[in-house]
Amino acid sequence: SSKLVSRLERDPKAARIGGDTREVTVMFTDIKAFTSFSERHKPAVVVARLNEYLSAMVQLIYEHEGTVDKFIGDGIMAFWGAPLSQPDHAKRAVACALAMKDRMAQLTAQWEMDRVEPFVIRCGIQSGEVVAGNIGSRGQKMEYTVIGDTVNQASRMEGMAKYYGVDFMVGDATYLKTCDSFRFRR
């Protein structure tokens, strides 16, 4: 992200293996039934649609001042609260998820007009402590990421959303940080 590049320009020593303990909010998204979609369409069609979707979602993550960590197939991992501290990281993540839901409705309307199969996404969000920093192989390949149980919980919540029949699921830590600003159901 441009925030990370700016930080490295100011402090080149920050490009070291390791990291710092931070409180962040992590988001995972996934397209429902993407494997089936991929099986029914030519690879060029799959890539074009995936790029359209990813472009729209990344734009929203950046508008809400999040960091896109990585794409995992059709999934996105993003976080708020690192590399720069954001006291309202949980609110930014939840607001981003709601903006994603609205943008998906717009994309779906367009795709239906174009007579192409729409995507539906799931999302899991959790807040908590992580180690944020450069992970990898010294001098070979490293990436700025977040590691910790909070990351695992956010990923599991995205997967559990399917089990509970919901599109978006947040953990208790995120709920407690945002319940004064958003409405939730148990």
CB 6 within 8 Å of CB 83: no
Predicted model pTM: 0.91
Q: What is the pLDDT of residue 126?
A: 98
| pLDDT tens, position by position, 114-157 | 998 899 999 999 999 999 988 887 778 888 899 999 999 999 99
The CA distance from 145 to 112, in Å, is 36
| pLDDT tens, position by position, 98-119 | 999 999 999 999 999 999 889 9
Is 70 exceeded by the pLDDT of residue 25?
A: yes
Q: What is the pLDDT of residue 16?
A: 56
The CA distance from 111 to 119, in Å, is 9
Q: What is the pLDDT of residue 15?
A: 54
Q: Is the dihedral of CA 99, 104, 105, 111 positive or negative?
A: positive
CB 25 within 8 Å of CB 90: yes
Beta-carbon neighbour count of residue 37 at 10 Å?
Answer: 18
